[in-house]
Amino acid sequence: MDRYLQIKDNLRNIIEEIEKERLKYSSHQIINLIAVSKYVSYDDIKMLYHAGHRTFGENKIQDLKDKSNILENLPLQWHMIGRIQKNKINQLISIKPYMVQSLDSIDLAKELQIRLEKQNMTLKCLLQVNSSNESTKSGVCIDEAIESYKKILQIAPNIKLEGIMTIAANTDDKKIIESCFKKTKDIFDKLQDSGAKILSCGMSNDYKIAIANGANMLRIGSSIFKK
Ligand SMILES: *Cc1c(COP(=O)(O)O)cnc(C)c1O
């Protein structure tokens, strides 16, 4: 099949599935879909744009820079979703992404605040929560999430915190995945008073569970770009 038609078809299928799950959860829920383009090149991103999609996510600063530069003539919205090394903060800020979803520590928030203040810039961010408690995953731990969120609001005025992000445990066990999303939703609910609006959970393999547990932002890559 023609690659464009395939991507368009993949997107339509995913949107239909999301819509079904969304209606089961609540017809008032509004869900934002981030197409994770980390495995694909400019061509696929351009095709997805022409199929009607504008919001993309990358997990490496260099790729985010290269792809957003090459595609700068398209009105795309870029999300940084991967681990951020402190020595790459200036590079990240210079790209001016729409949002950083992988703010994973108070230390990183402090560093970001210093550089943002210098540049007289603000940056929308989500606090990443390590809901699976796997040591390979980044993020603040469940028990410290609320306190960390409030602390960042206090010490980093140039960071516009809009909510939280999590990656569930890497397993086929639905109960375990569900437990990750439930814990994260609980934190999200408790942060309503602090202005949290975005709950970013769910990837290709677990987005239905994420929607059933209140996610309003999904990050989906392989299902949208599959061959
Ligand atoms: C790769 C990635 C995704 C998308 O994963 P798929 O399984 O390809 O849908 C979502 N979130 C993060 C943080 C990722 O790194």
CA distances from residue 92 to 40, 61, 85 in whole angstroms, order as listed: 20, 6, 10
Q: Please tell me the predicted confidence (pLDDT) of residue 52.
A: 97
Q: What is the pTM of this model?
A: 0.97
Ligand 1 centroid to 218 CA: how many Å?
Answer: 9
Pocket test for ligand 1, best of 203, 222, 226, 227 (most atoms within 8 A of CB): 203
Are residues 3 and 44 in contact, defined by beta-carbon separation less than 8 angstroms? yes
Q: The domain 3-225: what is its CATH number?
A: 3.20.20.10
Q: Which residues pair with 80 in a beta bridge?
A: 58, 100
Which residues lie across from 103 on neighbouring strands?
Answer: 127
Q: Using DSSP, state whether 97 is helix, strand or coil.
A: coil
- Identify which of 81, 104, 164, 218 to mutate to test ligand 1's pocket (most ligand atoms within 8 A of the CB): 81
Q: Which two tokens stand for residue 17?
A: 């599935």
pLDDT of residue 129: 98
CA distance 200 to 134: 18
Question: Could you state, in chain order, the average pLDDT of each consecutive group of 10 residues for the chain (227 residues)?
Answer: 94 98 98 98 97 98 98 98 96 98 98 98 98 93 98 98 97 97 98 98 98 98 97
Question: How do the domains of the chain map onto residue ranges?
Answer: 3-225
CA angle in degrees (0–180, nearest 5) for 37-214-56: 15
Taking a C-beta distance cutoff of 8 angstroms, is the pair 209, 201 a contact?
no
Retrieve residue 85's tokens: 């090394």
